[in-house]
Chains A and B, each alone.
Chain A
Amino acid sequence: MTVTVNGQHWELPEGSMLGDVLDRLGVPSSGVAVAVDGAVVPRASWPARTLRAGATVEVFTAVQGG
């Protein structure tokens, strides 16, 4: 199945977990937030969250601004 991760298309096995995607992405252990299909997924829910085909995963962090 195809999942969009920070704007890029990833081919993943059916039933892939959000936690696996974030591990592959090398997401830092703090200072980040994740949204799936436009809704925040709390860190505690990352490992057990199953992704559906066509899901959009976005990872955010704080940058200089304002």
Chain B
Amino acid sequence: MADDPLVIAGREFGSRLILGTGGAGNLAILEQALLAAQTELTTVAIRRLDTGARTGVLDLLVRHGIEPLPNTAGCRSAPEAVLTAQLAREALHTSWIKLEVIADDRTLLPDPIELLDAAEQLVDDGFTVLPYTNDDPVLARRLAGVGCAAVMPLGSPIGTGLGIGNPHNIAMIVAEAQVPVILDAGIGTASEAALAMELGCDAVLLATAVTRAEDPPRMAEAMRLAVQAGRHARLAGRIPQRFWAQASSPQRP
């Protein structure tokens, strides 16, 4: 199969599965899952240093050459998200940021007004911005318009495992996008990751579906294969759906 790298802001990645680090019970399980996923980019959160209790997640990523993608998880406003991105850049020496500005704890849905404001400020400040966004084609277009390097629409709310609630919206985002589309949040199992890729997404970002599965490394492997399968199916070009049957064997004489 020909080389088919994911390209974000001019950088190439061999893997189209971005596995987040959140939710793993311990670092050993996380390590196995990251390796089984063959992910090259993984999210980390920025939090106040608990003195004496380092998480060790960065050491793990360095050991395996996995690039950390810091996020602004937990931020509720543009100023908060901008400061968190600046802290992440200082701590991790990366100008890449997964921008999350959520509206409330119950839905964890992005606040579109604050999100667009933060995205614009961060792009102006030289960041490579990957916004976690609603499955709204108009908002996705606006985010790309202010210079985001990708758009990351949700399948369904974070951690729900409800899959892709509005596949048609995802398809519309893909059809319009001038930047990579990364399906982010809501994936529960492998078929949903494959669907995201069949809809034309360039990559899938997930965490909970793997880290809280009964066997995280095995689910990571399943997701890796599903993303590959979905990508191949997308590029192969599926048959049109028909109402009536069409024989696949020659007609009898």
Contact = CB atoms under 8 A, between A and B. Distances in A.
A17 interface: no
B92 interface: yes
Contact of A64 (B22, B48, B69, B91): B22
Interface in A18-43: 25-28, 31-35, 38-40, 42-43
A38 B87 CA distance: 10
A60 interface: yes
B49 A61 contact: yes
Interface string A30-66: 0111110011101100000000000000111111111
A2 to B, nearest CB: 19
Interface string B82-101: 01001111111000001010
Contacts of B251: none
Given A33-B91, A64-B57, A38 B47 contact: no
B20 A65 contact: yes
B87 A64 contact: no
Contacts of A64: 21-24, 30, 44-45, 55, 57
A3 B55 CA distance: 26
B37 interface: no
B92 A65 contact: no
A58 B89 CA distance: 15
Interface in B65-87: 68-71, 73, 83, 86-87
Contacts of A66: 20-22, 43-45, 69, 71, 73, 98, 100, 207
Contact of B46 (A25, A27, A42, A61): A61
A65 B83 contact: no
Interface of A: 6-7, 25-28, 31-35, 38-40, 42-43, 58-66
8 contacts: A33-B87, A60-B46, A61-B55, A62-B45, A62-B88, A63-B45, A65-B21, A66-B69
